[in-house]
Amino acid sequence: MSDQTFVILGASLAGAKAAEELRERGFDGRVVLIGTEEELPYERPPLSKDYLRGESARDGMRVHDQAFYEDQEIDLRLGTTATAIDPAAGRIELGRRGELQFDILLLTTGSSPRRLQLPGAELDGIHYLRTIADCDAIRARFEQGGHVAVVGGGWIGSEVAASARQRGLDVTLILAESLPNVQVFGEKIGQFYRDVHARQGVELVLGDGATAFEGEGSVARVRTESGRVVECDFVVVGAGVTPNVELGQRAGLDTENGILANPRLQTSAPNVFVAGDVADHWHPFYEKRVHVEHWANALNQGPAAARSMLGDKPPYDELPYFFSDQYDVGMEYSGLSDPSDRVVIRGDFDGGEFIAFWLRDGLVTAGMNINVWDVNEHVQALIRTRKPVNVATLTDTDVPLESLV
């Protein structure tokens, strides 16, 4: 039996899946999983979708139930915050809960919502969404109905806006950008999602970011750059996230847009690994550092880090992947595009059933299938081939997609 102690700091999806992988791979030493929340590790996508709307149960988000951690002899410590780590000494400081020694440490500390530093930001009724507690507070406001101003049109903002409309609330979506997610996907896809929200009755304030929150004690208005005033009953802000790198920085780990790691997810300290939102790892396919803040990355990267902790050598080279559901529009995205890439459409764009491909120098860099299913495997294969494609053939729905790989 191994006398080693593996500690996973971050009782997240990535952390829980890493602990599971360690046991499945036969590691019989001590496994400690530490989380700041009092909740069992859970998956976050439902927080902006079905759980937010009251359509799914709290327990359904859990990665595992309590019995799993007990059966697998995983020392799960919830409501516990690490205050410092010392890689050289193999030590974690846990505040009033003392210290913990480790042989190998995995950081899955995730990210935190980027909070707007605007006048009135301290008013009641301004919500950010990251945790179950955050979601429960927004759900309670949904129950009261009324008018919500959603500030920010990334995926969290867009999904919250969609969920609010589906619950019957009046919604104003306020974006500093000209279109939803335009900085990521470019104008054509941004226009598509703008129209999706407009058809559902969302009021869109575009290219006119929030500059202040106003109200007496509680927020009642959002003021924009142009001087426009949006009356509201409460606000949800989706202004992106910041990776939780502070512990790593204080421990001397190399950081940039996350904690830097090699292709095996090993940091600048050889006994410290990283996975999930906080990881900024060298991707062997793209030959550059990649930082991904989505569910699939946590799902896949946690177990990959666990295998590296056990000495496996293969690099982590999964292509970025995420999904979103808004109203009756479901999509999957794979790859790594740039807004300057050329976008071509395969299928019925106006009818909302199509695949968008991003092309650079004739190569497919990314693909997004919207209400078209069972094609993601072929999209990823096209990206990995790194071979020029004929646009006419790529966009011809009579040509089977798999035949192009």
Q: Please give the full DSSP string across 297-334, using - where no structure is assigned.
A: HHHHHHHHHHHHHTT------PPPEEEEEETTEEEEEE
The continuous run of DSSP H or E covering 155 comes out as helix 155-166
As given in the structure block, the two tokens for residue 130 are: 């990251």
Could you report the per-residue pLDDT of 235-293, keeping only the tens digit for each? Answer: 999 999 999 999 999 999 999 999 999 999 999 999 999 999 999 999 999 999 999 99
Rounded mean pLDDT of 131-150? 98
Q: What does pTM read for this prediction?
A: 0.96
At residue 2, the pLDDT reads: 83
As given in the structure block, the two tokens for residue 402 are: 């798999």
At residue 405, the pLDDT reads: 86
At residue 339, the pLDDT reads: 83
Beta strands in 190-256 (DSSP E): 203-205, 210-214, 221-224, 229-231, 234-237, 241-243, 255-256
Q: Residue 216: phi, psi to the nearest 5? A: -105, 95
Check: CB of residue 139 under 8 Å from CB of residue 54: yes
Rounded mean pLDDT of 164-172? 98
Query: Burial letters for 193-222: b for 16+ Cβ neighbours within 10 Å, e otherwise?
Result: bbebbeebebebbbebbbbebebeeebbbb
Please, how many CA atoms are within 13 Å of residue 364, restricted to the half-sphere of its CB?
30
Could you report the per-residue pLDDT of 376-396, keeping only the tens digit for each? Answer: 999 999 999 999 999 999 999
Hey, CA dihedral for 131, 137, 142, 143, is it positive or negative? positive
Q: Report the C-alpha gap between 261 and 258 in whole angstroms.
A: 9
